[in-house]
Amino acid sequence: MNQDGTVDVTDNVLIDNDAGNFMSGYIPTDVNGDETTDVSDAAIADNNAVNFCECCKAVNKEVDLIKFYSHLKTLTAMA
């Protein structure tokens, strides 16, 4: 959300503030893409923070996609 490459408490605070102000539209804190920042976005960010999710810079796009889908599969299984 704050674009620093790591999902952490700072991102959760941004989501909480935007949800409290009923923010909507195409904004960084709308994690699930439904154009509204709410508790569902906070839940996703919290789960990612707990799992220490970080952004990876693409060096080899094919390998990065394999890692991404593998990580996504793991997160989905945990839900």
Q: Residue 56: what pLDDT? A: 53
Domain count of the fold of the chain: 1
Using 70 as the pLDDT threshold, list the residues of the chain that sit under it. Answer: 1-2, 53-66, 69, 78-79
Quote the domain boundaries for residue 38: 9-78
Q: Residue 13: what pLDDT? A: 92
Q: Is residue 3 part of a domain?
A: no
Q: Is residue 1 part of a domain?
A: no
Q: Is residue 54 part of a domain?
A: yes
Q: Is residue 4 part of a domain?
A: no
Q: Residue 53: what pLDDT? A: 65
Catalogue the long-range contacts made by 12-15 (C-beta closer than 8 Å, 24 or more residues apart). Answer: 12/42, 12/45, 12/46, 12/49, 15/41, 15/42, 15/45
Q: Is residue 2 part of a domain?
A: no
